[in-house]
Structure formats: structure tokens, C-alpha cells
């Protein structure tokens, strides 16, 4: 009898974590490594949010709470959805979990039966397909292209829908491409979904606030109110408020779905950290001005990185609307050999040789389901980004 479960065999370890691990090992061994793999802002959590957490500790708010969130945080979330997205939700339609990851996981595990299909546009955030598999479902991957701005077309979405489709997972701005869908682009997708009433929408809006050049964020239930009863709108404080370590994510949707997710959470982690919930109340209700200041810094870094990468022979990099990632194509490098003698036959070979020969850690595209590309996270200092671009240029110039 095997000791490990068959379920575990259906998933692979997170490749983004593996890249960070390898970069850390090289650093610890004394190598000069620039990490462009991190999926988190390099900014600190704002002071008012930290102060709210300290006050919560001092006030003894350190006990178990309601499974899916204290009333105060649910009210703050309802107010956020109304204020920023024009969406009306009541606290019983809201759930709070240990990070956006647990929200998505709860929703999939609570709804998937064997054979259920989940449509995921590629490139995708690495965890979606594995979470679907853990839930017993089948990921249906629909590839996008650099030329289409990495956005799924309405035709491709329609073609992927079958009677077994349960969810369409939508992520804008996207990890790993930074691509965002404007109102009309999203409306074209929601029009398709309106023709298929059995398909639910899981929209991952984690990067809502990280948008540049006047990009207007929008979310499916806002663009098409007809989808309200079959949309789970997922969001969180990790990225926008630089709170990755606090582990708070949340979602709003139909009450029966939220109740099912609560039931699952009650038998796994119970409530998210009480102190982090109080910090989230302050994050959502407190001053929001710092978001614009930080976005300006991110936009400058994005422009720096896009220009630096487009100056590399064999690389083509689009200018994305949001998040803190770019997803350059290395089609022009495939088939060449690095100065260190590695044949660049895949994006994984590219990323490995770049790390070993020039000390720049990036995540290869195959990890996100679309090759030949790599992902750069530009949530790091201008100096590190400039040096990294110089090294990538040198690496590409050495390919023959």
C-alpha cells in the first residue's frame, strides 16, 4: 500500500517557489544573484496598518474568531466592493480566509466533482491548475498569445465551454503577464458567459490596485450584472497593501457558495489570523493615497524593465497594463547556445543558464503554461533592475 495519496501525485510543487529556493541557495554559497522571481511588493506594509495590528494585540484580540471573518472586516469588505466596484454585497455573502490562495482553494474544493472542467487561460498563475486537480476537476487550458496581449478571445472562450464546464477562472491584471482587460474586452467575454448559464465565474482581482497609464480596472459582476448570481469575486490585501505575510484574502458571491466555503474552512484552518483581520479593517477603511504613490514607482520600473528587455537580442517584451510582472518572449533565442555552452532549446534552459552564468533569477514560461517566455517580477529596486537588464543583455549577446 503506497504511503502517499494518489491525490498528491496529481500536483507538482510550485515552480516559482523552486526558483526562489535555487536563487537563495546560490546567494548563500556566495554568488552574486539578482532575484526577479518574487511575487510580492518590496514595499513595507503601511504604518497605519501595522499600528492597527499592534492595537489589536494590546486589546487582546488574540482569540478564535468567527470562521470566515469578524463582522468588522466583513463590513469593511462590503464597503470596499460598493465604493470601488459598484457591487452590493451583504456580510453573509462575504468570506475571509488565510490569503487569496485559500479563498480560491475553498471555492474549488467546495464545488468540484470528478470530471468537472475549469477553463483557465494560459499563461496562468501557477496554482490554478493544481488546485483544480486537487479538487478532482480537470483544468482546460486555453492558450493566449503575445500578439493578442495575452487576453483570451471570446471565440476561444466559447469554444472551450462544454456541458461539463463548471468554472471560468479570470485574472486581470494578470500574474504572470500583467495584462489587463478593459471594459469592452471583458464585456465581450461576459456576453459569451451569458449564453452558457451553467458556467460560473471565479474572478481573481488580486492586482486590482496595481494598474498604470490610466487603465480602468473592471470586474465581471460589475460589467455584466446578469452574472452576479454565478460569480465569485476574489480579492485580498496581499499585493495592493503589501501584506503578503499577513495572509488575508477574501471573496464575495452567492450565499450558498459562501456557506459551503465556510463549512470547508471550519474543518481545515478555522478563522484567518485575528490580528491580520484587524489590520485588514484598517487597510480597507484607512487612507488609500499611498497606493497612487507606489503605483508611480511601479510604473517607472515597468518602463525601465520593458525598455531594458527589448534592447536584448532575441527578446520581445510587451507593455502590460498592471501587476508587477512582465512576460517577455524568447522566441528569438531558441536554438542558440549560451556562452557557457548550454543549448537554449526551452525557456527552462534559458532561465537555468541565465541564473548559472549571469546570476539573474527569473521564472521560465512553461511553469505558467505558455512557452517560450519567462516572467520578470519588477517589484525590486531600480538599481537591481538596471543591473539585471544589463546582465540579460550580456547573456543574450553571448548566444550564438
> Which pairs with CB-CB distance under 8 Å and at least 24 residues apart come from 348-355?
350/374, 351/19, 353/395, 354/391, 354/392, 354/395, 355/22, 355/23, 355/26, 355/33
**Least CB distance from residue 6 to ligand PLP, whole Å?**
26
Residue 293's contacts (CB-CB under 8 Å, 6 or more residues apart) are: none
Which of residues 99 and 369 has its CB atom nearest to ligand PLP in the complex? 99
d(CA 394, CA 116): 47
Taking the C-alpha atoms of residue 31 and residue 33, their distance in angstroms, rounded to an integer, is 6
Binding mask 191-210 for ligand PLP (x = CB under 6 A): -------------x-x----
By CB under 6 A, is residue 175 in contact with ligand PLP?
yes
Cβ-based nearer residue to ligand PLP, 137 or 236? 236
Task: Label each residue of 300-345 as H, E or C.
Answer: HHHHHHHHHHHCCCCCECCCCCECCEECCECHHHCCCECCCCCECC
Which one of residues 74, 80, 101, 302 is an interface residue with ligand PLP (CB under 6 A)? 101
Decide: is 100 part of the binding site for ligand PLP (CB under 6 A): yes
Written as nine digits, the cell of 259 is: 456557506
Among 171, 235, 265, 377, binds ligand PLP (CB under 6 A): 171
Q: Which residue is nearest to ligand PLP (CB)?
A: 99
Min CB(143)–ligand PLP separation in Å: 18
The CB-of-235 to ligand PLP minimum distance in angstroms stands at 9
Q: In whole angstroms, how far apart are CA 321 and each of 150, 182, 318, 373?
A: 11, 9, 10, 18
- Closer CB to ligand PLP, 111 or 175, in the complex: 175
Q: Indicate which single residue of 21, 244, 288, 386 sits in contact with ligand PLP (rule: CB under 6 A).
A: 244
Find cell 468540484 and name the residue.
112
- Within 111-247, strands assigned E span 117-122, 138-143, 165-171, 200-204, 231-236
Provide the minimum distance between the beta carbon of 205 and ligand PLP in the complex, in angstroms, as a whole number.
9
Between CA 264 and CA 248 the distance in angstroms is: 17
- Cis check for the bond before 149: say yes or no (omega within 30 of 0): no
Sole window of 4-12, 99-107, 308-316, 358-366 interacting with ligand PLP (rule: CB under 6 A): 99-107
Is there binding between residue 99 and ligand PLP (CB under 6 A)?
yes
Q: Rank residues 265 and 338 by Cβ distance to ligand PLP and give the closer one.
A: 265
Q: In terms of CB distance, is 86 or 245 closer to ligand PLP?
A: 245
Provide the 3-class DSSP secondary structure of residue 97.
strand
Q: Which is nearer to ligand PLP, 209 or 336 (CB)?
A: 209
Q: Distance of CA 306 to CAs 170, 245, 301, Å?
A: 25, 28, 8
- Coil, strand or helix at 92: helix
Instruction: Give least dist CB 17 to ligand PLP, A.
Output: 11
Out of 37, 39, 320, 365, the only residue in the binding site for ligand PLP (CB under 6 A) is 39
Is residue 238 close enough to count as binding ligand PLP by CB under 6 A? yes
Q: Is 375 in the site for ligand PLP (CB under 6 A)?
A: no
By CB under 6 A, name the binding residues for ligand PLP. Answer: 39, 99-101, 125, 171, 175, 204, 206, 236, 238, 244, 249
Amino acid at each position: 500500500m503506497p504511503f502517499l495519496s494518489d491525490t498528491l501525485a496529481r500536483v507538482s510543487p510550485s515552480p516559482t517557489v523552486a526558483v526562489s529556493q535555487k536563487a537563495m541557495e546560490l546567494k548563500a554559497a556566495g554568488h552574486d544573484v539578482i532575484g526577479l522571481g518574487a511575487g510580492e511588493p518590496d514595499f513595507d506594509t503601511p504604518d497605519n496598518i501595522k499600528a492597527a495590528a499592534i492595537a489589536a494585540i494590546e486589546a487582546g484580540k488574540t482569540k478564535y474568531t468567527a470562521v470566515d471573518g469578524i463582522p468588522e472586516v466583513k463590513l469593511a469588505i462590503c464597503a470596499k466592493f460598493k465604493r470601488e466596484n459598484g457591487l452590493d454585497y451583504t456580510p453573509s455573502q462575504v468570506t475571509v480566509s488565510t490569503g487569496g490562495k485559500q479563498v480560491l482553494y475553498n471555492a474549488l474544493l467546495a464545488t468540484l466533482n470528478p470530471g468537472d472542467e475549469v477553463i483557465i487561460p494560459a499563461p496562468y498563475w501557477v496554482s490554478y491548475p493544481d488546485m483544480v486537480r486537487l479538487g478532482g476537476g480537470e483544468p482546460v487550458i486555453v492558450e493566449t498569445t503575445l500578439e493578442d496581449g495575452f487576453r483570451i478571445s471570446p471565440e476561444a472562450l466559447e469554444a472551450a465551454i462544454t456541458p461539463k464546464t463548471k468554472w471560468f477562472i479570470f485574472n486581470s491584471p494578470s500574474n504572470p503577464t500583467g495584462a489587463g482587460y478593459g471594459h469592452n474586452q471583458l464585456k465581450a467575454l461576459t456576453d459569451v458567459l451569458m449564453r452558457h448559464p451553467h458556467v460560473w465565474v471565479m474572478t481573481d482581482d488580486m492586482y486590482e490596485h496595481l494598474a498604470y497609464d490610466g487603465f480602468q480596472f473592471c470586474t465581471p459582476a460589475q460589467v455584466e450584472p446578469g452574472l452576479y448570481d454565478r460569480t465569485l469575486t476574489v480579492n485580498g490585501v496581499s499585493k495592493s497593501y503589501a501584506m503578503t505575510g499577513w495572509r488575508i484574502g477574501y471573496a464575495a458571491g452567492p450565499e450558498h457558495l459562501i456557506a459551503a466555503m465556510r463549512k470547508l474552512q471550519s474543518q481545515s484552518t478555522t478563522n484567518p489570523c485575528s490580528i491580520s483581520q484587524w489590520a485588514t479593517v484598517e487597510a480597507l477603511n484607512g487612507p488609500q493615497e499611498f497606493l497612487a504613490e507606489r503605483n508611480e514607482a511601479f510604473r517607472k520600473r515597468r518602463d525601465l524593465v520593458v525598455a531594458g528587455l527589448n534592447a536584448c537580442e532575441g527578446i520581445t517584451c510587451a507593455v502590460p497594463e498592471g501587476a508587477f510582472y512582465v512576460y517577455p518572449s524568447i522566441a528569438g533565442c531558441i536554438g542558440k547556445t549560451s556562452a557557457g555552452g548550454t543549448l537554449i532549446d526551452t525557456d527552462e534552459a534559458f532561465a537555468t543558464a541565465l541564473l548559472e552564468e549571469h546570476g539573474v533569477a527569473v521564472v521560465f514560461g512553461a511553469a505558467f503554461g505558455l512557452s517560450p517566455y519567462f516572467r520578470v517580477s519588477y517589484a525590486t529596486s531600480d538599481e537591481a533592475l538596471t543591473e539585471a537588464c544589463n546582465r540579460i543583455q550580456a547573456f543574450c549577446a553571448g548566444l550564438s
